[in-house]
Amino acid sequence: MAISEKDLLLALGNEEPRYLEILPKLDEKAIAILSVLSKGNDTMMATKAIFLAGLSKTLSGAVIVETASKSAVKLKRIAAASAMEHLPEEKREKIALKLIDDADISIQKLVIRATGNSKSVKLKEKFTRLSKESPSGYIRELISALPQPMP
Amino acid sequence: MAITQAMWIHGHSIKVEYHDRIKSIRRAGFFARITGKPNTTNWFHFSIPTTVIVNDKRQMIDSVMLRFRSGSNKAKVTNVDIYDGDWKIAAYDNLGLYPATFGLQRFNVPGKPEISWGVGISIGVSFTGTTDAQNTIEFSSAGCDFNLFESVRLHFKVLTTPTVSIDQMLASMREVYEPVGVRVVRMSDENLDLPSLNTVDVGECKRGITTAEQNTLFNHRNNVVANDVVVYFVEATNPPYNGCAAHPDGKPGAVVASCATRWTMGHEVGHVLGLSHVDNNDRLMTGNGTGNITNPPPDLISSEITTMQNSNLTVNP
């Protein structure tokens, strides 16, 4: 049975939402509520909504994540980076190409982990550049530890 | 929770800081009656006899009390500061107290610190009346309650400063913990420059299960002894949570995200002490989010208090 708006708000309000328990109850109406929450001023709630939207693996969920990836609010972009690993590859790479240019190490870390095996040439180029130019030794090491493609 | 010591001193022992600002002071058997000069402020002091150690136990201050009455709303108590020797341990400012009859005004001391040097109470008073009757205030007595509390000892490791200040989170936690007899002691603060862990992977955040990043983060326990609890303030968790109390064995602690509520730290430390979620928004351990708490401060019930007291992370005095 689909989750009501009240129950969805309570479930996401939890300090530690049980995303996998909420997931089967999501319908399009609930995704629409997530969309509203993702754009709201309650940043904590917005980040939870963005993550759950990505987890839903729906087209409308992906749109929520993509929109969040362009947000001026860093925590929303971090949530988008957290969520993107659950998106279809094409969508994931599109968002990754945007987020990998973010100066924030947390965002770069999540993008690299989510798309490290990507075959996208553009993304590989960005990883190669970061592996040489990133001021963060951690990011350079993370990229160098990615599995190398078969020759 | 019975108090261990209650110490009082009579009102006519009061000391005046600025004698040139008072018109008269009369010490009677009942009280000390002070008439201030118009448009002056002054400080009055009580020294509370303080037995700092009883039966080999250093006492902790619970609260101080004053009995006084004012001739009008033109003779107001504006400040009550509480000292242990030269250390100010509590300050109540911007008060406006002018009771017409003697009652008991209690001032809680947050953190319930151990007392070392003797308790002093400093009382700020403003006199704004035009007549002596208006500018008169009478002090009958001052006292202090002492107690012995179980303590949970917290160390704060800060990767990102949270939106709700750590001071506010600590004060909120004390609002919940102290009334049930658990003192929250701030042992240390440290900033950690760990950008790669600022958004920390916490997985599904289940008790006893930790990620590699949690294991790395929780290794940072400088100045922390075995049963102390560390709270790591991070920018965010992956996935997004307000906080997460899952911790490696032998390294008790929790992470708190930068957008957490004022109650999140108390909630997460509650998990560390063994508490579980409940479906009740009047309680600290609500599973519906501390942002939805309906009747602040939230409650801890007796079974939860027992669990906390039985935890080896709460230290007996």
Q: Domains in chain B, start-ordered, CATH in brackets?
A: 7-147 (2.60.120.260), 150-315 (3.40.390.10)
> From CA A15, how far away is CA B257, in angstroms rounded?
10
Strand-pairing partners, residue B26, are B33
Position A151 pLDDT exceeds 70:
no
Q: Do B239 and A138 touch (CB under 8 A)?
A: no
pLDDT of residue B183: 95
pLDDT per residue over A65-121, tens digit each? 999 999 999 999 999 999 999 999 889 999 999 999 999 999 999 999 999 888 888
pLDDT per residue over B108-121, tens digit each? 999 999 999 999 99
- List CB contacts (< 8 A) between B287 and chain A: 14
Tell how strand B57-58 and strand B5-10 pair up: unpaired
pTM of the model: 0.89
Position A136 pLDDT exceeds 80:
yes
Residue A150 pLDDT class (50, 70, 90 cuts): low
Q: Do B277 and A14 touch (CB under 8 A)?
A: yes
Residue B83 pLDDT class (50, 70, 90 cuts): very high
Q: Do A44 and B199 touch (CB under 8 A)?
A: no
Strand-pairing partners, residue B90, are B82
Mean model confidence pLDDT for chain B: 96
pLDDT per residue over B10-38, tens digit each? 999 999 999 999 999 999 999 999 999 99
Q: Hey, is the C-beta of A16 within 8 angstroms of any chain B C-beta?
A: yes
- Asked whether A109 and B199 are in contact (CB, 8 A), the reply is yes
Q: What is the mean pLDDT of residues B149-159?
A: 97
> From CA A57, how far away is CA A66, in angstroms rounded?
13
Question: What ipTM does the predicted assembly reach?
Answer: 0.94
Q: What is the mean pLDDT of residues B115-140?
A: 97
pLDDT of residue A147: 75
pLDDT of residue A118: 82
Q: B60: phi > 0 → left, psi -120 to 50 → alpha, else beta; which?
A: beta
CA distances from B160 to B29, B140, B165, B238 (A): 57, 49, 11, 15
> From CA B173, how far away is CA B265, in angstroms rounded?
7
Q: Do B243 and A106 touch (CB under 8 A)?
A: no
pLDDT per residue over B170-200, tens digit each? 999 999 999 999 999 999 999 999 999 999 9
- List CB contacts (< 8 A) between A12 and chain B: 289
pLDDT of residue A1: 66
Give B89's contacts (C-beta < 8 A, 6+ positions apart).
B61, B82, B83, B109, B111, B113
Q: List the single range of A117-121, A127-131, B300-304 with lowest mean pLDDT.
A: A117-121
Cis peptide before A88 (omega within 30 of 0): no
Residue A149 pLDDT class (50, 70, 90 cuts): low
Q: Domains in chain A, start-ordered, CATH in brackets?
A: 5-144 (1.25.10.10)
